[in-house]
A and B are shown apart, each in its own frame.
Chain A
Amino acid sequence: MGDVNLRQSRLMQRRASRRRRLAAFAGEGLLFLVTAASALVILFIFYYICRDALPFFRLRGFKEFFTGRQWYPSREPASFGALPMFFGTGLVTLGAMIVAGPMGVAAAVCLSDILPFGVRQAVKPIIEVLAAIPSVAYGFFALVVFAPLLQERGGMILSVGALLVGLPLATLLALVLGDALAMRLPHGPRAAGRLGLTALLVLGAWAGLGVLAARLSAVEISSGRNALNVSIILGIMAIPTVVSVSEDALFAVGRELREASYGLGATRAETVVKVVIPAARSGILAALLLGAMRAVGETMVVWMASGNAAHIPEPWYNLLAPVRTLTATIAGDMGEADHVTGSARYHVLFAMALCLLTFCFICNLVSEWAMRRSKAKLG
């Protein structure tokens, strides 16, 4: 009897453990399926975009698409030069990064090293709320409020903006340059020389900025729907990403490095500029890349407020001219360009989507690599 009981309990035990193993297996399998599904979705998107993009290149070749400047998809014969759109996307993204880069990184430094912890806890979520505003709201603002404002008070806005972005940047550059130059002086007059040089450089930078601002304030903007408008709005939209990611990177530098720096007699400014920011370099690069991706991929704002003129401005850096981006072209031309009406006109949009996807994919890889590097370096 006892023997039988024992055997039975062993059997039950084995059954229970098998059940447990089965449950674990099922759970793992389910999680794996979910993960695999999301990866598969990405692959499918890639596959379908490629499938619809390649016929365009087969029909029209690569040269016109990448080097042509004529975008007349509805004419007979049609021309599909997408260079202006590549240029427009690049210009607007560059503009957005000029807005979001310095401001975002400065805000991140402020949050991580300057503001007291309590204030930081309150301010960071407020900045992140910017990311939660739907892009159509930004677009509406850009079209209805900001564009007319640019037309009426364009010069003033330009000069104030130049000062806002330029002042910290120029001051910082002048300080660093002054330090670097002072290192070349002989040891005796170094301290006095550093003070004089820095003061001179900073004053020079400020004077230069003043002249620039005065020049800009005389500029008249004929149409507020231009690259500048969307650059600023996209910059504002990219700021939360830049702040959030680079603040994480700065925070991750840790107390040890900072305290070691203070221990060597460095001031807070020296610590931030010479220790913390260099240590968080890769993380900041990742933040800027992610911010740029946000700007590249944005559609609604550019479709509403960039003017959508398919040309390369004269001169090319003229931010006050309307531009057209890849995303806006895809969104705007999708309606008419179905399978039926002219297949090249349909497939060209997928060719653009493929270019965007490839660009963002590369950006993502680089930023991923940069973040991993910064983590590895800081242990």
Chain B
Amino acid sequence: MLRSPGGDPGMEGAGGVKARLSVLVLAAVGLALCGHGAVAYGQAAGKIVVDGSTTVGPIAKQFAEYYMSKHKDVVISVSESGSGNGAKSLINGVCDVADMSRFMKEGEFKAAVENGVMPVAHVVAMDGLPVVVHPSNPIKGLTVEQVRRIYTGQITNWREVGGPNLKIVKISRDTNSGTYETFETMVMQSERIAADAEYVGSNGAVRQSVQTTPAAIGYAGLGFVDDTVKALEINGIYPDRATVSSGRYPIARPLFMFTNGYPKLGSHLHAFVTLHLTEQGQEIVEDIGFVPVTNYR
């Protein structure tokens, strides 16, 4: 599926790239028209197809942009169809890298092995979800249990958790987002968020709503939390780079890229899925607001 950077230089000319690009465009159009994910694309050399989580997607996109600017002969296409679909694509051999904001499930592993695909996980970054409140809120911290009970509607007043006598305004990301997915699995577990919770469309909107609403509670990606809102200690741990990457902060998770087997050393694919280990990779991960796994400085 992929070729090492050194192989067959004759085919790496501009014409080849152009032809491949047009094939890619055709494939994309065809894909859009027939509306099914499983079209055999990504078979051309020097091309990496990435599919999966919307949370990891931004990292993959930035990595792709950076990598393509360094290697003009490589085409990397990144689509975001959700972790589950990323796994599906990898199993069916239609993508090279599956972005996933969760680990592969047992069933997915089984299906992969039956299809002759051996999934290998690469942890590209850590993701933490600070729970934030208005700066005027005297509360310093909550437990995961308390946060869950607030969002299920069992706790409705800040007084019940030692705060002022104010009705709690719950703010959640929209159900489309990976942020919501993380929160749902790590905090809510299997309980439903109360129907009167407010939903907003972006991490920035969470911050905007919380910083203007004294009674609000919300959650957002680590990169979006600044001093206009107050991040709470959860189970006594304050969310920052150190506590998230060490796993002491409880609402944190690794973000994965899965490949079929460990990529051939020196191949483009190998370089791509290890980009997060380089200094540039760390910078990109930090810029997007995730916690890198490396510590250059």
B175/A303 in contact, CB under 8 A: no
B174/A339 in contact, CB under 8 A: no
Q: Complex formed: what's the CA distance from A332 to B175 in Å?
A: 9
Q: Which residues of B contact A338 (CB under 8 A)?
A: 81
Which of B101-109, B193-201, B258-266, B273-281 participates in binding chain A? Answer: B193-201
B196/A336 in contact, CB under 8 A: no
Q: Which residues of B contact A311 (CB under 8 A)?
A: 195-196
Q: Which residues of B contact A84 (CB under 8 A)?
A: 195
- Given A71-B195, A309-B196, also A339-B35 (CB < 8 A): yes
A143/B169 in contact, CB under 8 A: no
Q: Determine if A222 is an interface residue (Cβ-Cβ < 8 Å).
A: yes
Please report the total number of A residues contacting B with Cβ < 8 Å. 37
Q: Complex formed: what's the CA distance from A84 to B196 in Å?
A: 11
A333/B212 in contact, CB under 8 A: no
Produce 1/0 per residue, A199-228, CB < 8 A to B.
000000000000000000000001111000
Q: Determine if B222 is an interface residue (Cβ-Cβ < 8 Å).
A: no
B212/A148 in contact, CB under 8 A: yes
Interface residues of A in 107-161 (CB under 8 A from B): 143-144, 147-148, 151
Q: Determine if B247 is an interface residue (Cβ-Cβ < 8 Å).
A: no
Please report the total number of B residues contacting A with Cβ < 8 Å. 34
Q: Determine if B16 is an interface residue (Cβ-Cβ < 8 Å).
A: no
Q: Give me 26 A-to-B residue pairs in the complex whose CB atoms sit less than 8 angstroms apart, sorted by A's number.
A: A71-B195, A73-B175, A74-B180, A144-B208, A147-B209, A147-B212, A148-B213, A151-B212, A222-B166, A222-B169, A222-B213, A222-B215, A223-B215, A225-B198, A308-B174, A308-B198, A308-B199, A313-B196, A322-B198, A335-B176, A336-B54, A336-B176, A336-B177, A339-B35, A340-B37, A341-B82
Q: Complex formed: what's the CA distance from A143 to B198 in Å?
A: 13
Q: Determine if B289 is an interface residue (Cβ-Cβ < 8 Å).
A: no
Q: Determine if B84 is an interface residue (Cβ-Cβ < 8 Å).
A: yes
Q: Determine if A235 is an interface residue (Cβ-Cβ < 8 Å).
A: no
- Given A144-B208, A148-B212, A341-B81, also A333-B195 (CB < 8 A): no
A72/B212 in contact, CB under 8 A: no
Which of B35, B81, B167, B175 lies in contact with A222, CB distance below 8 A? B167
Q: Complex formed: what's the CA distance from A133 to B215 in Å?
A: 32
Q: Complex formed: what's the CA distance from A222 to B174 in Å?
A: 21
Q: Determine if A347 is an interface residue (Cβ-Cβ < 8 Å).
A: no
Q: Closest Cβ of chain B: how far from A302's Cβ, in Å?
A: 12
